[in-house]
Structure 1
């Protein structure tokens, strides 16, 4: 129940949702002065949230900075968080990637370079699956086709969120004898905007990891006429990602996950 309430709260405070609610109420009560002010407020908020420079700058300051491949030592295990495929897309004879494919492709590159000796993928079916093939299994199939040795691949197929990614990963590592006295060196691989929450969850569950952020949304901020004036639908998308992540952090703190 708490999960669905958090999703509802997240939906209601999304910038686009707020703008729609304001303009809707403003039109309903347009004959009243405060109704017209709501319409004006919606217009001004739309200008703010569609400003590509502002959206990019906020995302740029939020995302964990990238790390060069050659700056990394060798790690026993690279841990890849899922959420990077169209998990409900059929047929299941291939992997349908979305924006976050860097999580897997960069993990593959690290493996090929010898920076990680093994790869663990964590992620299950989600909350309303249309097929019983987990995302970890789908990504595992891709990595096998790409040349990863089957013995170097670990799959955790039950997690439905970031907290469970950390919790179930620890259990799997305990089963494999990779924690405790013989603990493995771990490299956490996930999207840059998501790294703060993910790392906190792993620390909370007793797994100390180094981090390798991937899947960047922001570029180096450049203020020019186009970025300052031209409205951008992509800017709304960036704010959507940020607000969703901030709500996720708030909910995780309330639940004691981080």
Structure 2
């Protein structure tokens, strides 16, 4: 129920979609109530310009990405590596016959790097699919097809194929892997997604060491640096707002224990 509701609500709540619909509604209302309609349309249009050209998307993402620093190898033992899904494009992969990924493909590249760095570690990919409609293939199948490209033997990777969101990633990964006390597991996901991911694994009773990748910012807000295009800025803004709403929703529904999970200690 939570999964379906979150997807349906977000379809309308995406800032760029909401502001566009608001502007369109205003123009429609202006046919009968000119002043009110034009005011609503102007509000939607101004919102699109501010979110698209202003620094707000970057500012919101920086706070997320800076929460967990980049991983520093301390030479300690690594028992396993968990890579979360979300970068895969199953529909395009099925249509084109080759593994396709979106901007978060660094997650899969990190799998190849960590497989070589820690040859004794267990490798796990967690992700079934985050779509409401049936998909041509699972995220895990896309990754399986990409393994030869990153130099990883398929027999080395364990797949958790049923999860649809971050909370399920954590819960089902723990059930599959049965981590033992004292084991050290790296968790690979995008930097902006790491706070929610760590919170979910903590709630599932699965301690992990964050290994953030796929950074979208240089670590500074850049208040005086506008985006190159409205489309670029809106992409940042949509992504950041989605993650902040996800944190709030997970906290209010008890899926994470803190509204903004932080590094241990």
Shared fold per TM-score greater than 0.5: yes
Q: What is the TM-score normalised by the length of structure 2?
A: 0.82
Q: Distance in 1 between matches of 2:149 and 2:16?
A: 40
Partner of 1:49: 51
- CA 1:150–1:229: 2 relative to 1, 3 Å: closer
1:213 aligns with 2:217: no
1:47-97 residue CA offsets vs partner (Å, 9 max, x unmatched) = 210125332222122214542554564411111001111112215853212
Partner of 1:79: 82
- CA 1:125–1:62: 2 relative to 1, 3 Å: closer
- The alpha-carbon deviation at position 192 of structure 1 amounts to 0.9
Partner of 2:240: 242
Structure 1 unmatched runs, 5+: none
Q: What is the TM-score normalised by the length of structure 1?
A: 0.84
Q: 5 Å matches for 1:1-258? A: 1-30=1-30, 31-63=33-65, 64-67=67-70, 70-71=73-74, 73-89=76-92, 90-91=94-95, 93-114=97-118, 117-126=121-130, 127-131=132-136, 133-144=137-148, 146-150=150-154, 152-174=156-178, 178-180=179-181, 183-219=182-218, 220-222=220-222, 227-228=225-226, 231-258=229-256
Asked if the contact 1:15–1:240 (Cα under 8 Å) also holds between the matched residues in 2, the reply is yes
1:117-151 residue CA offsets vs partner (Å, 9 max, x unmatched) = 231111114443333x4322431342355333455
Structure 2 unmatched runs, 5+: 257-265
What secondary structure does 1:75 align onto? Answer: coil
Q: Distance in 1 between matches of 2:209 and 2:120?
A: 12
Report the RMSD for the aligned CA atoms in angstroms: 2.6
- CA 1:208–1:255: 2 relative to 1, 3 Å: same
What secondary structure does 2:210 align onto? Answer: strand
Asked if the contact 1:121–1:136 (Cα under 8 Å) also holds between the matched residues in 2, the reply is yes
Worse-matched range after superposition: 50-59 or 163-172: 50-59
Q: Distance in 1 between matches of 2:57 and 2:123?
A: 34
- The alpha-carbon deviation at position 157 of structure 1 amounts to 1.4
